[in-house]
Structure 1
Amino acid sequence: MESTSGKGTLGFRELLSLAVGQVIGAGVVTLVGQAIGVTGRSVWLAYVFAVVLGLCIIFPYIMLSSMIRVNGGNYTFVATILGERWGGMYGMAFTLNSFACGMFGLGLGTYLNALFPSVNIKITAVIAITLFWIANMLGVKFMAKIQNVMSACLLVGLAVFIVVGLFNLRPGTFDFSSPEFFTGGASGFFNGTLLLVFSCTGQSFIVAFSKEAKNPRRDVPFAIIAASGVILVVYGLIAVVASGVLPIDQVAGKPLTLAAGQILSRPLYYAFIIGGPIMALATTLNSSFTVFSRPFHQMARDGWFSKKMAVTNNLGAPYILLTVIYIISVVPVLLNFSISTITSNSILISRISDVVAIVAVICLPKRIPDAWENRYFKISKPAFYALMIFCLCVTLFVIGLSLRNLKPTLVIVTVVLITLFFIYSTLRQKSGKVQMEKSYELQ
């Protein structure tokens, strides 16, 4: 049995930077216009509700990180609490997120191509993915330093859009009686909130960095909470500007770049595109290599895959696994694979995985009583269980509503994949090759 003990290198500032970079992605650039299309100028209220709902979904991760430090991210505690087979299934489902790195790279290429039409989207995507793969190969500390700089650029780029936009709002932007408010009624507002909610949960992924945190039980949960506060303000203001500088019929269904092009001078427009959507994609891509490799790494150590895959370089980076994620990201881009459907599948599987993770957190006080006694937030057990059950109900409710907008084929593929993952984890466990380490600690 091996512990994860060791001196961490990431403080609150680095963790907050990673959380903000992970949660603010290109979704805010593309989804706001779609939400405006169903609810009009009340989109900023929809974002407020979406952030609150998102916080309900990820609150169990806040409680988890306040109790234990985990080496393999969410995989570690699911396997520890619910058993090896569930942990194996959860870990393999989570690894499907790696396909998203290819989409992030293509997004970067697309935005750069919009600024400089001579830029080749695919080549730019491969170069971007390669650069961040190298950054992660140089260790978490180096990757976090880059993240700090890019996150600052991201906030500056979005601030340019917000500040200039607030001085160019049309009359009646905050007039609740305006026909441009709640254009789709209560149903439209609710659908807009549902559309935005899953762009408000990415900050929970920094649980994967608790191994490197200096004070994980305090800094990881507070970084998640602080990142939620940041996106509440940033997303809300972006939505105000996006829906308030032009008539609703001109911005409905359109990306932020349309409104930005109308209110920003050419130099500021370039600053916004580079500092906003491009940095949003870059920060998410940068941190995703470590976030997605962490469960892979611990699973290899535990025997779900060949243990040779778990080896690290002298900077502590699991170079084989990082390279696997690199290949998963680059090959579909080069071969023109339609990875959007695969990415959609991974998103749905991730939401279902959230349910498994929340159930594990609910069982944590009973299975590891020392972790409960070790908790940073000293709430009572009745309050804890009530909050966790509420979060579980909210997650199930949101998933149920999301299924209405998915194609039956996508749902079937998801069920098949989860079934295959569970069969593999059951067979692998019975083979005797799985020997799980103790990959968590209480201090």
Structure 2
Amino acid sequence: MGKISGIVSRMNQKESLDNYLARDNQLERTLTAKDLIMLGVGAVIGTGIFILPGTVSAQHTGPGIIISFILATLVCSTSALCYAEFSSALPIAGSAYSYGSVVFGELTGWILGWALVLEYMLSVAAVSSGWSAYFQSLLSGFGIHIPKALTGFYDPSHGTYFNLFAVLIVLLIAWILSFGLKSSVRINSIIVVIKIAIIILFVIVGFFYVKPSNWTPFLPFGTSGIFKGASLVFFAYLGFDCVSSSAAEVKNPKRNMPIGIFGTLIICTALYILVSIVLTGMVHYSRLDVSDPVAFALQVVGQGKLSGIISLGALAGMFTMMVTMIYSSSRLIYSIGRDGLLPKFLGKINSKNNIPKHSVIIVTIIIAFMGGFVSLSKLASLVNIGTLIAFTFISLGVIPLRKRKDIDNKDGFKVPLYPILPIVSTLLCLGLMTQLPAETWIIAIVWFIIGLVIYFGYGISHSKLNVNNKK
């Protein structure tokens, strides 16, 4: 009995903020609020902006998708408020993993880290496959065709063995990140600006072809369709939480972290709503249930030549999303290695350019393998459950965070309407989780069982927190 209580005690030990700050001091604080917004917009705005407004309006909302995006933003904003307080109070690497370790204890932190591993790596691998498909389409437009064996995941029955471009784009991004954060952020920011310019170009051109009659009826599926649409487009915002993973590399985090998180949400919401207004005004919503609704709308109004530019925007969108997610993945793995729950070499910082080189390499290998060889279509919904688990704990965690006397957030951001708003955010996240299919829950349970086996088989005995307490 005493042995069991000892294990429970070790699992629930809380890491000290001062210890984390001391371990992260090798990471260079170079990021500004503008850099954070660029990272956030880079992660959130991907191909979804060229697809979701069309398909969701056709199937569930009609032109009322504008309201769905507003509702989704309100739901997402409640979680964002909680993330903003955590990142202001705890300016450390690791996002929800580190926050959970400080506030709830080591096991909860591990579970949240394992959930984020699922979100970050799986989403990049899936997007790398999409990037490859778009790039191959672009090459075919110039008469360049790649051997079929190199165009998709391992599936000999269909003649594909290896997705070459999915692997190459992941390796390219890892190479860019290896030069250090400052250079990577600069490249990411340039491509984000190009991506936003292409979206604005579509909005401006499309505005001249808007017919108000296409917005009638505005709510063809009723209010239930609006709520269904909101639950679907909510996932268009996944990625804003990646901003918090960079807290240990941010100048003046108490000020800049909240600005980065809310700046990301405001810009992304504005772009999603503008595209939705113009798209449903150009073409009747009933015709938008296609794989490329934005390109289709341009062709309908006789602007087919702009479709190529939209493809470039999609490529740029996926590229910046992968930059942010690979960066966030490497910081997450670094944080877990820093604490000893994974091999300690993953928690080492390269003194030459102040990056966790080993964690970048491991993350790159895993993502490149999945993108190159594995079919991810059935696993994509796992990204949603991993994210919502993290959102739930962070929302709920604001309550014990406020009670901690050893954490000084006097001058930092605080969630308004405390404790009502954190509780509302928790309930909203749990509500969205109930909408996920049973298959997703089953696979997620298997994933977390694997995580617990790793924790109890390796992590708990190598944890720096437990090793130090034995001394």
1:230 aligns with: 267
Moved more, 153-162 or 4-13: 4-13
Letter in 2 for 1:306: P
The residue correspondences of 1:53-202 to structure 2 (distance < 5 A) are 53-96=75-118, 97-117=120-140, 118=144, 120=146, 121=151, 122-174=163-215, 178-179=216-217, 181-202=218-239
Specify the alignment match of 1:348 in structure 2: 385
Distance in 1, Cα, partners of 2:192 & 2:455: 38
CA contact (8 A) 2:392 2:425 kept: no
Is this contact kept in 2: 1:8–1:211, CA < 8 A? Answer: yes
1:416-435 equivalences in 2 (<5 Å): 416-428=446-458, 430-431=460-461, 433-435=462-464
Q: 1:260 aligns with which of 266, 286, 298?
A: 298
Contact 1:55 1:201 in 2 (8 A): no
* Unaligned residue ranges in structure 2 (runs of 5+): 1-18, 152-162, 467-471
- Give the aligned partner of residue 393 of structure 1: 427
**Alpha-carbon deviations, 1:112-146, whole Å to 9, x = none?**
23333235453222221111010111111111001
1:42 matched to 2:71? no
Shift of 1:152: 0.3
Q: Secondary structure at the match of 1:299?
A: helix
Name the count of aligned residue pairs. 423
Question: Counterparts of 2:288 and 2:273 in 1: how far apart (Å)?
Answer: 16
- TM-score, length basis structure 1: 0.89
Q: Deviations over 1:148-174 (max 9, x none)?
A: 101100100101111111111123245
Q: Cα 1:22–1:333, aligned 2, differ >3 Å: closer, same or farther?
A: closer
What residue in structure 2 maps to residue 205 of structure 1? Answer: 242
CA contact (8 A) 2:61 2:219 kept: yes
Alignment check: 8 A CA contact 2:86 2:398 kept: yes
AA in 2 matched with 1:282: F
* Residue range with higher mean Cα deviation, 345-354 or 124-133: 345-354
User: TM-score, structure 2 length as denominator?
Assistant: 0.84
Q: Following the alignment from structure 2 to structure 1, what is the Cα–Cα distance between the partners of residues 47 and 465? A: 37
In structure 2, do the counterparts of structure 1 residues 286 and 368 end up closer, same or farther at CA, with 3 Å as the change threshold? farther
Q: Which residue of 1 aligns with 2:343?
A: 306
Aligned mates of 1:119, 1:164 — CA distance in 2: 32
The answer as to 2:36 corresponding to 1:15 is yes
1:25 to 2:46 alignment: yes
Which amino acid in structure 1 is aligned with residue 178 of structure 2?
Answer: M
After TM superposition, the structure 1 stretch with the greater mean CA deviation from structure 2, 264-273 or 136-145, is 264-273
Which sections of structure 1, spanning at least 5 residues, go unmatched?
438-443
- Structure 2 equivalent of residue 334 of structure 1: 372
Shift in Å at residue 222 of structure 1? Answer: 1.0
Structure 1's 361 and 340: CA in aligned 2 closer, same or farther, altered over 3 A? farther
Indicate conservation of the 8 Å contact 1:62/1:224, yes or no.
Answer: yes
Cα deviation, 1:57-108, whole Å, max 9, x if unaligned, reads 3221012122220122221111011111111122122112212222221211
CA distance in 2, matches of 1:82, 1:370: 14
| Contact 1:10–1:212 under 8 Å retained in 2 | yes
Change (3 A) 1:153 1:366: same
SS at match of 2:412: coil
**1:273 match:** 311
- The one-letter amino acid of 1:126's match is V
Which one is further off, 38-47 or 154-163? 38-47
Secondary structure of the 1:235 match is: helix
How far, CA to CA, are the matches of 1:77 and 1:228 in structure 2? 21
AA aligned opposite 1:273:
S
1:317 to 2:355 alignment: yes
> Displacement of 1:13 after TM fit?
1.2
Answer with 238-247 or 151-160: which moved more.
238-247
Q: Specify which structure has the bigger relative contact order, considering alpha-carbon pairs within 8 angstroms and separated by 6 or more residues.
A: 1
Per the TM alignment, residue 398 of structure 1 is displaced from its structure 2 partner at its CA by: 1.8
Cα RMSD of the aligned pairs, angstroms, is 2.1
CA contact (8 A) 2:40 2:261 kept: yes
CA contact (8 A) 1:112 1:119 kept: no
Contact 2:342 2:459 in 1 (8 A): no
Partner SS state of residue 40, structure 1: helix
- Mean Cα displacement is larger for which, 262-271 or 293-302? 262-271
Alignment of 1:282 with 2:325, yes or no, is no
Distance 1:21 1:426, change over 3 A: same
Specify the SS of the correspondent of 2:395. Answer: helix
Q: Is the 8 A contact 1:35 1:253 kept in 2?
A: no
C-alpha contact (below 8 Å) 2:39/2:189 kept by paired residues: yes
Decide whether the 8 Å contact of 2:53 with 2:276 is kept in 1: yes
